[in-house]
Amino acid sequence: MTIYVNGKETLLGTGTNTIMTLIESYELNPMVVIVERNKGIVAKDSYDSTILEHGDHIELVHFVGGG
């Protein structure tokens, strides 16, 4: 299945079918990631249950600490 992640066409591997598995595939901490799917924000408590579909446009925004 092909989706777009942060504007780049991405072919998903087997087993990557939810927002949570996508976040995990990028080795990001879901607690510090904001996800937009097709121009709508996905609630953190829905990451496990939100199924990705062919052609989805996903924006992953994560926060980085520093000082």
CATH number, domain containing residue 54: 3.10.20.30
* Structure tokens that stand for 43 in this block: 């609630």
| Residue 22 included in any domain | yes
- Chain centroid offset of residue 64 CA: 17
Is residue 13 very low, low, confident or very high in pLDDT (cuts 50, 70, 90)?
A: confident
Report which of 22, 33, 14, 15 is spatially closest to residue 56, judged by C-alpha positions. 22
- Structural domain for 17, as ranges: 2-62
The answer to the question of residue 67 being in a domain is: no
Tell me if 40 is assigned to some domain: yes
Q: Give per-residue pLDDT as tens, 17-33.
A: 999 999 999 999 999 99
Report DSSP state, residue 30.
Answer: G
* Residues sharing a CB contact under 8 Å with residue 6, sequence separation 6 or more, in sequence order: 58, 59, 60
Domains in the chain, number: 1
Q: Considering only 3-7, 13-17, 25-29, 42-46, which range has the smallest mean pLDDT? A: 13-17
The angle subtended at Cα 54 by Cα 21 and Cα 22, nearest 5°, is 15
32 within domain boundaries = yes
